[in-house]
Amino acid sequence: MSTPVSSSEQPSSRTEARSRHGVLDSAAFEALFRECATDVHGYLISLLGDRSAAEDLTALAFERLYRSRLRLDRSRGTPRAFLFSIARNAALDELRRRRRRSSYGLREDLAEDRAPGDALEHVERRTRVLDALASLPLRERELVLLKFHGQLSNGELARALGISESNAGTRLHRALTRLREHCADAGREEVA
């Protein structure tokens, strides 16, 4: 025979729902911020080509995640993936507002301890990659950036983009192939 449990000892359905959905508490949010802020900022700089806008949108993404932290559903992805989805949507809104393609600039903060030849080679290689990224259609560029800046799995990419996981993998493979081809072609042009 079971003993009745008082209503104060029974977990409320709201508490059960929160634990099932994996609420992002303050400590977990702070840890996520420390872990992901640089990656989100880098992703947004790469997508927008504008440091100032990237800083604003990084802050906006974390703010939106914080406001929705009680509604996170871990069955739909990790908080990191949700954060990058928010950042992606904010960046696409920004790009739509601008109605122009983003431009890429060289990093001002080249390492000073490199030999001049190494630094020049690094700048040339980085320029080739940035040019190759800029040559990709926006959909492919954002896919590559989400994968590598966001460090998202193909399943998380699929959820962020609203496509199937196999489609995400196929699109990523095609985008990386185009990126490699463009880099290789640019390298051959420099030699010629």
Residue by residue, pLDDT tens for the chain (192 residues) are: 444 444 443 433 332 333 334 568 888 899 999 999 999 999 999 888 889 999 999 999 999 999 988 888 877 788 998 999 999 999 888 888 875 444 444 444 444 455 555 666 767 777 788 888 888 898 888 888 888 888 888 888 888 888 999 999 999 999 999 988 888 887 666 554
Alpha helix positions (H), the chain: 13-21, 26-48, 51-67, 79-98, 116-135, 138-148, 154-161, 165-191
**pLDDT number for residue 182:** 85
**pLDDT number for residue 99:** 59
Sign (positive or negative) of CA dihedral 75, 78, 81, 86: positive
The predicted model scores a pTM of 0.59
Distance CA 124, CA 140 (A): 23
**pLDDT number for residue 83:** 93
Residues 6+ apart with CB under 8 A from 156: 77, 78, 80, 81, 84, 150
Query: Hey, what are 68's tokens?
Result: 């929705």
